[in-house]
Structure 1
């Protein structure tokens, strides 16, 4: 019998931690809770959660900095849970590597559903087998979350960015619509999902050295979707 997925919660509000923990434990998950970023980051040295739920309004650290570090150093999926409802906060969170963004107040059932969706996506990835792709002078190592340039320079990418990159690399020179992206990546259709994709694609273009006004690898087909124009080999 497989072990239940481990969900780590970082939120300084006891009521929120308790409500989330109760809902997730009832759904069959293993849960640990943390009130401060320092104790959370210390615990990460001893544990490897599957999903991290992170509040942005922390007493001892900028929550966005925690999210960014998690995205670079951890393979865990990251879901921000925050009272910050402004579009810019959501965009910044996604740009820094979060996989999802839930605004307080929320229904615990929605959080459980989002966690399950992320786990379904994450657990499907190892079944794909190959973890290294080569294209146009680049090498993408998905087990290390690294892009390696022709000169050996290493550029890290987040779990969320890796999902989008892998989708492109598995279907080169084929149009990928927004609907196909939503179905493949397990997101919730709507403006927030579209914006999340825009952010991740923009960051990937930057990391690949693309001219944002005239990208040559990840092309936008307005009104239809995207197409990746590189030649790809897997190993």
Structure 2
């Protein structure tokens, strides 16, 4: 049975036809709509016509650097980005997350795991967009979650990724309260452990940079060693 037109849309970019078919079959059986691409040029052209909810991106592409594509998607797209790659080295995973990916799945994989991770990511996204306010003001900044932009007091705009936006919203929803690593994992999804901790460190570091924070003495996002983080700004939503 074909998924309805209102079902979440997953775009699959992988140069291996077998993997595209396997992912498409598993996702459509789970109720998702899918489109599949073997080349980045086709994928990018399709994104200009319709924005998917999730992008599954292989790094080993024949016509584009996969990491550069992930970085551009993170800056320009509101879609969740999940890397699926045979590159299993820790540094590859860290680089992918640093460039804005929401998750990193290593080949070979179980399609059921991919489906579960996509569902978890979309549940989190729906929780975010369920709020009526899509902008917040704090410490001279305005965060626009509908446009993925930070705007400073002079009007200069700085884009942030979907992944960075998830963390920023979590902080802005709970200012001046300690947020533990366990609370972050529960709120944002993903498997607990070293990979999740590293992903959070990367996202928080990138947010601090975009907010002009002194990395040695940040004034807004404070690390409480062994406990978690506290966002110290006053926040006004809407």
2:11 counterpart SS class: strand
Select 2:55's aligned residue among 49, 52, 57: 52
Query: Aligned-pair distance for 1:81?
Result: 0.2
Q: Does 1:124 align with 2:130?
A: no
In structure 2, distance between residues paired with 1:160 and 1:132: 16
Select 1:4's aligned residue among 7, 12, 25: 7
Match of 1:229 in 2: 232
Match of 1:162 in 2: 165
Match of 2:107 in 1: 104
Gaps of 5+ in 2: none
Query: Aligned-pair distance for 1:2?
Result: 7.4
In structure 2, distance between residues paired with 1:86 and 1:226: 28
In structure 2, distance between residues paired with 1:128 and 1:226: 23
In structure 1, distance between residues paired with 2:186 and 2:132: 20
Match of 2:36 in 1: 33
Query: Aligned-pair distance for 1:211?
Result: 0.9
Query: Aligned-pair distance for 1:200?
Result: 0.1
Match of 1:78 in 2: 81
In structure 2, distance between residues paired with 1:229 and 1:221: 12
Q: Point out the more displaced range, 86-95 or 5-14.
A: 86-95
In structure 1, distance between residues paired with 2:154 and 2:52: 34
The alignment yields a C-alpha RMSD, in angstroms, of 1.1
After the TM superposition, which segments of 4 or more aligned residues of structure 1 sit over 6 Å from their partners?
Answer: none
The normalised TM-score by structure 1 is 0.98
Aligned pair count reads 235
> Equivalent residues in 2 for 1:149-228 (5 A)?
149-228=152-231
In structure 2, distance between residues paired with 1:91 and 1:210: 22
In structure 2, distance between residues paired with 1:24 and 1:234: 36
CA contact (8 A) 2:5 2:33 kept: no
Match of 2:149 in 1: 146
